């Protein structure tokens, strides 16, 4: 659990919380919940998201079930360091879309006494670790992995399967382009698309094996 009581209350410090999982797993919903609780406690809160994420609103962080909180779109992680001055709590959504500097930015903020709450996809549509998320999870004090429900089996889902015929790493989308799948369902779906998961993600199936 990420909310633990500290022993030495005289020590001034911050920390990092990461909320990760597949698409439709409730990452942003949990991020918004924690940030609204901080606002209710009258803490100074700032929320940031990558400027490329305009699926629901340009200036709002919005969950799939329409829960929302006002945010500041930024084009790079370095902007967060400048804009977060004087904050007590900083929220960052869709962290996988930021450049690698986001890791240093989050640690700098935490080292200066700020509570940093990050939400992002832990894997891309190929099943590979996504962008800076592995490093953020490694340096965070608290990591919460949330799960969606597999659309094909009803089991817990931790993979984001891309239904659209697009191989670009970054492709914003919703249920028309993506669906959450369990490991078994994801494996079968990837086989049908002539790729197989391996230790590092996916690989093309050799034509002689088809």
The total number of structural domains in the chain stands at 1
Does residue 5 fall inside a structural domain?
A: no
Does residue 210 fall inside a structural domain?
A: no
Cα separations in angstroms, 162 against 28, 32, 174, 179: 19, 25, 10, 7
The residues annotated as belonging to the active site are 94
Does residue 9 fall inside a structural domain?
A: no
Does residue 6 fall inside a structural domain?
A: no
Does residue 155 fall inside a structural domain?
A: yes
Does residue 10 fall inside a structural domain?
A: no
Does residue 186 fall inside a structural domain?
A: yes
Does residue 159 fall inside a structural domain?
A: yes
Give the range of the structural domain holding residue 190, as residue numbers without chain letter.
15-205
Q: pLDDT (tens digit, 0 to 9) for every residue of the chain, 210 residues total?
A: 455 556 666 666 899 999 999 999 999 999 999 999 999 999 999 999 998 865 444 554 444 454 557 889 999 999 999 999 999 999 999 999 999 999 999 999 999 999 999 999 999 999 999 999 999 999 999 999 999 999 999 999 999 999 877 677 666 655 578 899 999 999 999 998 877 655 555 454 443 333
CATH number for the domain harbouring residue 20: 3.40.50.300
> pTM score, two decimals?
0.82
Coil, helix or strand for 117? strand
Strands (E), the chain: 15-21, 45-50, 60-62, 68-70, 72-74, 89-92, 115-121, 142-146, 148-149, 156-157, 159-162, 178-181, 195-198, 201-204
């Amino acid at each position: 659990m990420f909310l633990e009581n500290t022993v030495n209350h005289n020590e001034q410090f911050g920390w990092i919380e990461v909320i990760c999982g597949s698409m439709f797993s409730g990452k942003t919903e949990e991020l918004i919940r924690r940030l609204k609780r901080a606002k209710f406690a009258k803490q100074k809160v700032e929320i940031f998201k990558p400027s490329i994420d305009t699926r629901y609103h340009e200036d709002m962080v919005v969950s799939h079930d329409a829960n929302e909180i006002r945010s500041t779109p930024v084009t790079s992680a370095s902007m967060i360091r400048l804009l977060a001055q004087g904050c007590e709590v900083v929220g960052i959504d869709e962290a996988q879309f930021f450049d690698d500097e986001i890791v240093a930015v989050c640690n700098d903020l935490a080292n200066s006494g700020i509570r940093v709450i990050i939400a992002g996809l832990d894997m891309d549509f190929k099943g590979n670790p996504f962008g800076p998320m592995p490093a953020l999870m490694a340096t965070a004090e608290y990591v919460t992995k949330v799960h969606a429900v597999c659309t094909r089996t009803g089991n817990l889902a931790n993979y984001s399967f891309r239904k659209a015929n697009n191989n670009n790493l970054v492709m914003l989308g919703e249920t028309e382009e993506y669906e959450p799948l369990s490991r078994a369902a994801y494996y079968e779906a990837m086989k049908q698309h002539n790729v197989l998961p391996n230790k590092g993600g996916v690989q093309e199936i050799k034509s002689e094996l088809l």
